[in-house]
Each structure stands twice: as structure tokens, then as C-alpha cells.
Amino acid sequence: MDVNLTSAFLTTQYAIPAMIEKNYGRIINISSVAAQTGGVIGPHYAASKAGLIGLTHSYAALLARNGGITANAIAPTLIATDMVKDNPSIKPTLIPIGRFDQPDEVASVVLLLATNGYINGQTLNVNGDWYMS
């Protein structure tokens, strides 16, 4: 909870006054498909990532009147990082597309949200067809 949720809350709370002063800002939280499906890591992880989606929705609604500030979340699936690759119970066959998410695939969605001022309050699923919304 501290790493995945509390850190995002505290960092955003710290940044909001400057965003409001500038009438510009992008809040981009990295959630997970686990928030929507329960995932494979455990309930603590799923709960913290689901909390990020709620936090994102709350900030989007609270800050919408400051037209230049947006808040969105990205919910990737299992990303090909050491945390995933080193876990023998996590295999790419868990994902319908049959492979792990690549870091650059998630990064391109971060870039989209960082440069778009109209997408707000959304959770973009970058998850290889694991969870469809």
C-alpha cells in the first residue's frame, strides 16, 4: 500500500498547488490489470492498484475545473521486467495475446496522456486483451 498507493497520493498532493497555480498538469498513475481482475501477484497488490484507479478518478473530478489539469491511469498487464521474468509461476501464456507487455508499449501510452489535454478520468488498458472495457 505504501509503495503503490500512498506514494502516489502524497506525491500528487504535493504537486497539486503548483499545477493549480499554472493551470496545467498531468497526473498519470500506473495501475495494473490486477486492479480489474485480481491478478496473479496477490490481493495486497490488486487492492493497492485498484486504489490508484479510485484516486485517479477522484483527482480528475476535483481538478476538472482547472481545465489544464488531467488525471488518468494506465492499467498494463505483466510487463517484461525482472519482477515478472524472475517469477516462475508467471508465464506469458496467462495473457491472451501470448506475450508480456513491453516497457516501451506502456511508455508510449504515458506519452499520449502527457501530451493530450482532453483525456481525463480514464483508465487506459494496455493489457494484451486480458481485460476488456
| Residue carrying the nine cell digits 517469477 | 87
Residue 118's CB: how many other CB atoms inside 10 A?
6
Q: List, in sequence order, every residue forming a beta bridge with 30; answer none if it has no partner.
A: 74
Q: List, in sequence order, every residue forming a beta bridge with 125; answer none if it has no partner.
A: 75
First to last CA, the chain: 25
DSSP 2-62: IIIIIHHHHHHHHHHHHHHHHT-EEEEEE--THHHH--SS-HHHHHHHHHHHHHHHHHHHH
Catalytic residues: 45
